[in-house]
């Protein structure tokens, strides 16, 4: 608590020191660029400034100033997003939004879904290195109308870089806790590092991005070493104004000690190897006011879990999954507004040692209409119809509205629905005596209601909001007592309501200095309407309070950022984490230093896995851009 009070005290004195009247040209251009960002939903692309839902965007420039080593860590600083890492440094991570489960959040890369039909534990095993990211878009609330199935509580879309000029970015870093390794885990101290290289070959007609990265850490406690490799390509070619083609391919390989991940304390010597690959080919064609965009994509994954890493004859689980996706998106601009409509199919299969061999198909169709009702009132309405070969038909409507009181004040309201299809693990897992699936599960269905108000003027941005979500046939892994295995059931109706608020300001000081701060707070109140009196995995992890604050200071080529996170879960102790990053720019080279978990807090994000103690890092970024 003392750490949090220190940060709050610093935030309180900033407005006194600042001079609001002189806004730097750098700040103006950054805000203007963000307002012009196009939110890349697969239905209708919407400018950020015209968003009718709560959408948060974090840019590459903001990412570079954060004390982070992976995409997972970037998301820990986003209000409403809950990151539960079983291992640090970009290893396995569960992601959820507004108190949902990891299965209820959808992750995309350039609009391509990363759904893993085996388990959401592998959804963030993606091939995109951090320095290949242009921005991350986070949309909250049930979003089936926008993204289809499994966007029950929200979606995270990772958009990679492209450009019409050539550039190169290289990032190398190393770090350590400077603590001696545990007995039986080798000798020396815990530490490691990473390297990433991203290049773009760009001209007026094309943009070809290629990126590769690798991180190697010998762990932060017994049997927690990790090695992560990422290879990624994204290409765009414009034949002319009306016709273009895009291709994307990537491969990710992660190997890590899984001590305490699933079955502590017996899994102290377990290990997991996870591979995934993606491929996507799409094109866009315009005929006057009509645009059509077909796309074919594929995601393959392999998960090899070894309960005894030195004895593969027992306790080994091997899963191969594949999802082939076919899409046809289109839109038509008319005098009364824009219409979006299309179709998508998803063909899934799994071959597994303890889940079995299964197949299922999912088909969905959508229609959407976006219009300006008046100069001050605009919005969109639509519906998504889904057919699953195991669960049949369902329709998910939704509506979004926004009203501009004036150039500074905007109020938005939306009503949406969504569905989450049970994973193959939910349905068929047979991991006796640990976890057993339930083939009788039904899909989760949700209705989400939200309203928020936004104020923007000069260097000040404020947003406050309230949401109410009800999930019917809510799925949770439960058991009668600690002697029984966990098994998923449709537990009942899960209701979640919450409030959130965000404030940010940035000011110019004297002598080319600037200072800014950001504060966000989220409060969640869940309730579960069920007649069962069972032990639940979900309730233990559900987020209740989330407070994030940060200060950023810059003078000439030096910048400094401190970030603080205070989190409280339903049935766990609160914890407070403070991270710091220093950047110093020398022409094309940026030298940086980080300290994460500055006050050496003891905390866990998932299961029984303790997160790293205080960690020190040094790094260098080289950037070259064709003039």
The predicted pLDDT at position 480 comes to 80
Asked whether residue 4 carries a pLDDT value surpassing 70, the answer given is no
Asked whether residue 40 carries a pLDDT value surpassing 70, the answer given is no
Q: Please check whether residue 361 lies inside any domain of the structure.
A: yes
Q: Quick one: average pLDDT of 131-153?
A: 88
Give residue 137's domain range: 19-545+570-575+604-611
Q: Quick one: average pLDDT of 268-274?
A: 94
Asked whether residue 319 carries a pLDDT value surpassing 60, the answer given is yes
User: For residues 299 and 610, what is the distance between their CA atoms, to the nearest angstrom?
Assistant: 31
14 pLDDT tier (thresholds 50, 70, 90):
very low
User: For residues 208 and 164, what is the distance between their CA atoms, to the nearest angstrom?
Assistant: 9
Asked whether residue 530 carries a pLDDT value surpassing 60, the answer given is yes
Q: Please check whether residue 560 lies inside any domain of the structure.
A: no
The predicted pLDDT at position 332 comes to 94
DSSP state of 483: T
Q: Please check whether residue 9 lies inside any domain of the structure.
A: no
Distances (CA, A) of 552 to 168, 521, 549: 26, 18, 10
CA atoms within 13 A on the CB side of 485: 12
The predicted pLDDT at position 147 comes to 85
The predicted pLDDT at position 46 comes to 67
Q: Please check whether residue 433 lies inside any domain of the structure.
A: yes
User: For residues 113 and 119, what is the distance between their CA atoms, to the nearest angstrom?
Assistant: 14
Number of domains within the chain = 1
The predicted pLDDT at position 1 comes to 47
Residue 610 contacts by C-beta under 8 Å, 6 or more apart in sequence? 221, 260, 602, 603, 604
CA angle, corner 555, sides to 553 and 560, nearest 5? 35
Which stretch of 27-36, 141-150, 320-329, 580-589 has the lowest confidence by average pLDDT? 27-36
Q: Quick one: average pLDDT of 324-343?
A: 94
In b/e form, how buried is each residue of 465-482, taking b as 16+ CB within 10 angstroms? Answer: bebebbbbbbbbbbbeee
Q: What is the phi/psi pair of residue 6, to 5°?
A: -60, -45
Q: Which is more confidently placed, 420 or 432?
A: 420
Asked whether residue 48 carries a pLDDT value surpassing 70, the answer given is no
Residue 547 contacts by C-beta under 8 Å, 6 or more apart in sequence? 4, 519, 520, 521, 564, 565, 566, 567
Pairing of strands 189-202, 167-180: antiparallel
Q: Quick one: average pLDDT of 110-115?
A: 90
Tokens of 181: 């390794």
Given a contact cutoff of 8 angstroms between Cβ atoms, the answer to whether 317 and 352 are in contact is yes
Q: What is the phi/psi pair of residue 538, to 5°?
A: -65, -45
SS3 call for 29: helix
Q: Please check whether residue 332 lies inside any domain of the structure.
A: yes
User: For residues 220 and 146, what is the distance between their CA atoms, to the nearest angstrom?
Assistant: 40
The predicted pLDDT at position 540 comes to 57
The predicted pLDDT at position 27 comes to 39
H-run or E-run covering 55? strand 55-59
Q: Which is more confidently placed, 595 or 529?
A: 595
Q: What is the pLDDT of residues 78-104, one digit of tens each?
A: 999 999 888 777 788 889 999 988 889
Q: Quick one: average pLDDT of 577-592?
A: 96
Q: Quick one: average pLDDT of 187-198?
A: 95
Q: Please check whether residue 104 lies inside any domain of the structure.
A: yes
User: For residues 327 and 321, what is the distance between their CA atoms, to the nearest angstrom?
Assistant: 20
Residue 432 contacts by C-beta under 8 Å, 6 or more apart in sequence? 485
Asked whether residue 16 carries a pLDDT value surpassing 80, the answer given is no
Mean pLDDT estimate for the chain? 88
Q: What is the pLDDT of residues 347-397, one digit of tens each?
A: 999 999 999 999 999 999 999 999 999 989 999 999 999 999 999 999 999
User: For residues 37 and 445, what is the distance between their CA atoms, to the nearest angstrom?
Assistant: 31
> 389-396 contacts: CB < 8 A, separation 24 or more?
389/360, 389/361, 389/362, 390/360, 390/421, 391/421, 391/442, 391/443, 394/419, 394/443, 394/445, 396/142, 396/144, 396/145
Q: Please check whether residue 372 lies inside any domain of the structure.
A: yes
Q: What is the pLDDT of residues 347-360, one digit of tens each?
A: 999 999 999 999 99
The predicted pLDDT at position 5 comes to 41
Asked whether residue 8 carries a pLDDT value surpassing 70, the answer given is no
Share of the chain above pLDDT 70, in %: 90
Q: Quick one: average pLDDT of 411-415?
A: 95
Q: What is the pLDDT of residues 209-227, one digit of tens each?
A: 999 999 999 999 999 999 9
Q: Quick one: average pLDDT of 408-431?
A: 92
Q: Please check whether residue 277 lies inside any domain of the structure.
A: yes
In b/e form, how buried is each residue of 256-281, taking b as 16+ CB within 10 angstroms? Answer: bbbbbbbbeeebebbbbbbbbbbbbe
In b/e form, how buried is each residue of 194-212, taking b as 16+ CB within 10 angstroms? Answer: bbbbbbbbbeeebbbbbbb
pTM for the model: 0.91
Asked whether residue 577 carries a pLDDT value surpassing 80, the answer given is yes
Share of the chain above pLDDT 90, in %: 68
The predicted pLDDT at position 120 comes to 77
314 pLDDT tier (thresholds 50, 70, 90):
confident
128 pLDDT tier (thresholds 50, 70, 90):
very high
Q: What is the pLDDT of residues 484-526, one digit of tens each?
A: 788 999 988 889 999 999 999 999 888 889 999 999 999 999 8
Q: Quick one: average pLDDT of 460-478?
A: 93
146 pLDDT tier (thresholds 50, 70, 90):
confident
> Residue 323 sits in a domain of what CATH number?
2.40.170.20
263 pLDDT tier (thresholds 50, 70, 90):
confident
């Amino acid at each position: 608590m003392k750490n949090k009070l220190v940060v709050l005290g610093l935030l309180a004195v900033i407005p006194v020191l600042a001079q609001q009247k002189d806004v730097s040209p750098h700040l103006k251009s950054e805000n203007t660029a963000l307002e012009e960002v196009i939110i890349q939903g697969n239905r209708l692309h919407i400018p950020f400034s015209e968003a009718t839902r709560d959408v948060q965007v974090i840019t590459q420039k903001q990412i570079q100033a954060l004390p982070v080593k992976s995409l997972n860590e970037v998301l820990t600083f986003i209000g409403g997003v809950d990151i539960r890492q079983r291992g640090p440094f970009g290893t396995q991570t569960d992601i959820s939004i507004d108190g949902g489960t990891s299965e209820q959040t959808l992750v995309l890369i350039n609009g391509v879904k990363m759904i893993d039909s085996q388990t959401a534990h592998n959804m963030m095993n993606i091939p995109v290195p951090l320095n290949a990211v242009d921005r991350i878009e986070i949309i909250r609330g049930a979003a089936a109308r926008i993204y289809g199935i499994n966007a029950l509580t929200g979606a995270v879309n990772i958009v990679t870089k492209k450009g019409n000029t050539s550039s190169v970015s290289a990032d190398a870093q190393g770090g350590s806790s400077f603590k001696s390794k545990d007995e039986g885990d080798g000798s020396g101290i815990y530490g490691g590092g990473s390297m990433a290289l991203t290049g773009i070959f760009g001209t007026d007609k094309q943009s070809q991005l290629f990126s590769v990265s690798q991180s190697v850490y010998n762990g932060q406690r017994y049997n927690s070493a990790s090695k992560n490799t990422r290879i990624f390509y994204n290409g765009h070619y414009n034949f002319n104004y009306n016709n273009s083609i895009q291709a994307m391919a990537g491969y990710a390989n992660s190997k890590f000690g899984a001590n305490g991940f699933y079955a502590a304390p017996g899994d102290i010597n377990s290990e997991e190897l996870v591979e995934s690959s993606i491929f996507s080919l799409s094109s866009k064609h315009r005929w006057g006011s009509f645009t059509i965009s077909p796309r074919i994509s594929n995601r393959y994954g392999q998960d090899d879990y070894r309960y005894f890493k030195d004895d593969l004859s027992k306790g080994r689980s091997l899963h191969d999954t594949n999802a082939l996706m076919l899409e046809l998106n289109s839109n038509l601009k008319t005098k009364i507004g824009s219409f979006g409509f299309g179709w998508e199919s998803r063909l899934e299969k799994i071959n597994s040692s303890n889940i079995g061999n299964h197949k299922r198909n999912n088909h969905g169709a959508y229609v959407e209409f976006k219009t300006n009702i008046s100069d001050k009132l605009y919005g969109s309405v639509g519906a998504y119809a889904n057919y699953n070969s195991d669960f049949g038909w369902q329709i998910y409507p939704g509506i979004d509205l926004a009203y501009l009181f004036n150039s500074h004040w905007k109020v938005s309201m939306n009503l949406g629905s969504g569905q989450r299809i049970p994973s193959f693990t939910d349905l068929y897992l047979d991991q006796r005596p640990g976890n057993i699936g339930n083939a009788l599960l039904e899909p989760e269905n949700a209705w989400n209601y939200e309203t928020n108000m936004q104020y923007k003027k000069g260097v000040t941005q404020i947003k406050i909001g309230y949401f109410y979500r009800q999930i019917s046939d809510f799925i949770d892994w439960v058991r009668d007592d600690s002697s029984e295995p966990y098994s998923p059931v449709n537990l009942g109706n899960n209701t979640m309501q919450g409030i959130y608020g965000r404030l940010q300001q940035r000011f110019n000081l004297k002598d080319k200095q600037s200072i800014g701060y950001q504060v966000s707070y989220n409060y969640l109140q869940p309730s579960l309407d069920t007649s069962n009196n069972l032990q639940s995995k979900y309730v233990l992890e559900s987020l209740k309070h989330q407070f994030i604050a940060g200060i950023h200071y810059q003078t000439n080529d030096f910048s400094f950022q401190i970030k603080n996170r205070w989190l409280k879960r339903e049935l766990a102790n609160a914890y407070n984490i403070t991270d710091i990053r220093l950047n110093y720019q020398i022409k094309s080279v940026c030298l940086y230093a980080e300290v994460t978990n500055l006050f050496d807090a003891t905390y866990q994000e998932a299961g029984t896995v303790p997160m790293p103690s205080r960690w020190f890092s040094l790094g260098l970024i080289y950037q070259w851009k064709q003039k």
